[in-house]
A = this chain, B = another copy of it.
Amino acid sequence: MLTTNKKQKSWKITATKTIDYDVIQITSVFNPKNELLLTTAGNKSSKRFVIIDEALYEMHIDAIINYFKTHNITCQFLPIPAQEQNKNIDIFSLICKELDSYGIKRRSEPIIVVGGGVLLDIVGFVASCYRRGISCIRVPTTLMGYIDAALGIKTGINFNGYKNRIGSFSASVLNILDRSFFKTLPKRHVVNGVGEIIKLAVIKDAELFKLLENDIVKCINDKFITTGNEILKMAIQDMLEELAPNLFEENLERLVDFGHTFSATLEMHDISNLLHGEAVAIDICLSSSLSHIKGILRMDELNKIIKLINDSFLPTFHEKITPKLMWESIKEKKLHRDGFQRLPLPVVIGKATFVNDIKYDEVCMAIDLLKNLADKLDSAKKNH
């Protein structure tokens, strides 16, 4: 709406934009009988551009070609090496250039991304700013993609040593969750996704935490193929309940930021080794230790959290953790959270609060405490 003041000396423009997207669980997404992948913003159309993790290319190309051929749609593939160290402006540019060469309609020929969380983030960002926004369908193939990246509207690439420094809030019209990809997923990438599930359990879902305590080892060994239905449903539901009312982060106190205060710095300092969920797991341990140091979280609860992380084959500590680096992380997050720490800390398992008064000394103490607990777990492992 346009409001012009009487003397035509000023104008106010207001509008609302509707965001509307689907998350759908199916099996066999590339079975031609599933028509989900044909979804477009408008009419069916005749061209598709498919960006796929290069590690999955050989495995799925025939099925995808057959899928689109059955539906009279031509497609082109762009295999991309989708590790954290490639989540940068060069890969972004490469994808945009390939899009230029292929040529797609802005609205009715959605690009399709098939891959893990890293690739979903990159392509989501391409989709949000190529021609100021084109349609996109996301097909996560990792647990991290499935219970995290494909659920929200955050896109991004790393830049200048900072994680996701450049990005957007931009919804992909459709996100298709198909667990059959997990069959060929390396165990480490199953474990990686578990980091984000534990996060949700600690901050808002004690019931989910109990389920994890009982079943997580079984689920990981089975790669969630026939197990863990309830865990995945609860994790998705929990995550969406947190994201949906605050899609654009108008409220900067976000429970889902738990595990995301120190992790970004660790990831960027060990980019070729550490996966996102692993960094989140370490951050969960450190933040929970900090919560104990602040007198918020009881020791037995802290131990339970660290034990679950450890039982889930996730790391609880990282050699690059120093008070100085962790303090830098807090300062960086303070800018990102507009001047306040807004650090989510668990109160008990299943409930969290926000604090703004963490001091350097407390970070030092939390690190010492965690180092101690992690060392004990390590020697217990060695004695087994």
Contact = CB atoms under 8 A, between A and B. Distances in A.
Interface of A: 1-2, 4, 8-25, 42, 45, 89, 93, 96-97, 100, 103-108, 125, 128-133, 154-156, 159-160, 162, 164-169, 171, 233, 236-237, 240-241, 243-245, 247-249, 252, 335-339
B106 A337 contact: yes
B131 A129 contact: no
A12 B8 contact: no
B19 A16 contact: yes
A240 B45 CA distance: 34
Contact of A167 (B20, B24, B132): B132
A169 B24 contact: no
Contacts of A241: 2
B17 A22 contact: no
B96 A159 contact: yes
Given A15-B245, A108-B338, A129-B166, 15 more contacts: A2-B244, A2-B245, A8-B233, A11-B236, A11-B237, A12-B21, A14-B18, A15-B18, A16-B17, A103-B335, A105-B339, A106-B337, A106-B338, A131-B165, A132-B249
B133 A169 contact: yes
Nearest to A236: B11
Contacts of A249: 132
A1 to B, nearest CB: 6
Contacts of A335: 103-106
B248 A96 contact: no
Nearest to A18: B16
Contacts of A15: 18-19, 244-245, 247-248
Contacts of A248: 15, 17
A198 B108 CA distance: 33
6 contacts: A9-B25, A17-B247, A42-B338, A96-B165, A107-B338, A131-B165
Given A233-B8, A338-B106, A96 B22 contact: no
Contacts of A1: 244-245
A94 to B, nearest CB: 11
B169 A13 contact: no
A11 B22 contact: yes
A102 to B, nearest CB: 10
Contacts of A168: 128-129, 132-133, 168
A100 B236 contact: no
Contact of A156 (B132, B160, B336): B132
